[in-house]
Amino acid sequence: MYKNTIYLSKIDHTLSQDTFNHLLQVISKENREKCLRFRLKKDALRTLYGELILRHILHKDFSYKNEEIEILKGDKGKPYVKGSSIHYNISHAGDYVACAFSKQEIGIDVEQIKEIDFKIAKRFFSTCEYEDLLAKKTDERLDYFFTLWTLKESYIKWLGSGLSTPLNSFFFAVTDNGISFTDTNHGATPFFKQYPVDDYKLSVCCTTDDFPDKISMISLAEMTSF
């Protein structure tokens, strides 16, 4: 049985325009046009890398030919591969693009740890999460904020509900004993795992708990070898 896998790629911002244009021909028309609309090249590269990872894994692990891959969107906008039983989810931040694969629903979120206004937490976190955050030592709050934020985003993406599920309608607590999760509205009982990535936080949410021990790093050269 196929186990959950998580891939992470670091963006090469020195990619030449010729190579960029060539790789655009590999991905879907929708994302190709999306890449060309971006004002900043770094945003285009994130979209490009995300689909390249997807296509590479579908080829490597599931024997898809690139021309056979058709990406569609469900009723709530969550993308899926036509005719495939594999579930996937993509996230990107800063210099990284992450992609998670599973035979079950899966959600992933990666965020770069950087200074923020903690009023964001008061607005989007549940009361108990916000109180837990403020109870942390000052130099621990930023890290804990992104711990909670990525967990919450990975859950929303697992649900596939988008903005229709308020971030403060469910809550987490992360201690030395692990990740505690409560959502009385959906009655959902998914599993979560977090991975360290430089000065980033990465969280994954899935119906099953067979998470890999570590993330698989993948280069641009590898993901274009199909």
Tell me the pLDDT tens digit for each residue of 129-188: 999 999 999 999 999 999 999 999 999 999 987 667 888 889 999 999 999 999 988 777
- Report the CATH number that the domain containing residue 225 is assigned in CATH: 3.90.470.20
151 and 172 both lie in a single domain: yes
CB atoms within 10 A of CB 122: 14
Amino acid at 6: I
197 and 224 both lie in a single domain: no
Per DSSP, which regions of 49-199 are E strands? Answer: 71-73, 79-81, 87-93, 96-102, 106-112, 171-175, 178-182, 191-197
Mean pLDDT over residues 83-100, rounded? 95
6 and 78 both lie in a single domain: yes
17 and 44 both lie in a single domain: yes
pLDDT at 1 over 70: no
Token duo for residue 178: 């692990």
80 and 28 both lie in a single domain: yes
H-run or E-run covering 15: none
2 and 100 both lie in a single domain: yes
pLDDT at residue 52, rounded to an integer: 97
In angstroms, the CA 99 to CA 157 distance is 12
73 and 144 both lie in a single domain: no
| Domain count for the chain | 2
96 and 1 both lie in a single domain: yes
Tell me the pLDDT tens digit for each residue of 188-221: 789 999 999 999 999 999 999 999 999 999 999 9
218 and 167 both lie in a single domain: no
pLDDT at residue 225, rounded to an integer: 78
Angle of CA points 156, 162, 163, to nearest 5°:
110
In angstroms, the CA 166 to CA 117 distance is 19
171 and 73 both lie in a single domain: no
Contact indicator for 94, 13 with CB cutoff of 8 Å: no
203 and 218 both lie in a single domain: no
Block residue for tokens 């979560």: 192
Q: Domain of 26?
A: 1-104+209-226
